[in-house]
A = this chain, B = another copy of it.
Amino acid sequence: MTEPSPTLVRSPVDRRPGRPRDEDIEERVLAATLALVDAGAPVTLGRVVAGSGASRAAIYRRWPSLTALLAAALDQGREVLRVPGDGDLRERLFGLYLDGPARVAESYTDARFRRRLQLTLADRALQRAYWDAHVNRRRLPVTELLQQGVAAGELRADLDIEATIDLINGVFYYQVIVRGENPLEPATRARCAAALDLVWRGMAAEPR
User: In the bound complex, how far is the Cα of B180 from the Cα of A55, in angstroms?
Assistant: 32
Interface of A (DSSP majority class): helix
This chain: copies in complex: 2
> Which residue of B121, B167, B197 is within 8 Å of A171 (Cβ)?
B167
B128 and A121 contacting across the interface, CB-CB below 8 Å: no
Name the residue in A162, A167, A169, A192 with the highest tally of chain B Cβ atoms < 10 Å from its Cβ: A167
B173 and A178 contacting across the interface, CB-CB below 8 Å: yes
Name the residue in A121, A131, A135, A191 with the highest tally of chain B Cβ atoms < 10 Å from its Cβ: A121
A167 and B180 contacting across the interface, CB-CB below 8 Å: no
B173 and A191 contacting across the interface, CB-CB below 8 Å: no
User: In the bound complex, how far is the Cα of B167 from the Cα of A172, in angstroms?
Assistant: 9
User: In the bound complex, how far is the Cα of B123 from the Cα of A118, in angstroms?
Assistant: 11
> Which residue of B114, B118, B120, B174 is within 8 Å of A173 (Cβ)?
B174
B117 and A177 contacting across the interface, CB-CB below 8 Å: yes
A114 CB contacts on chain B under 8 angstroms: 121-122
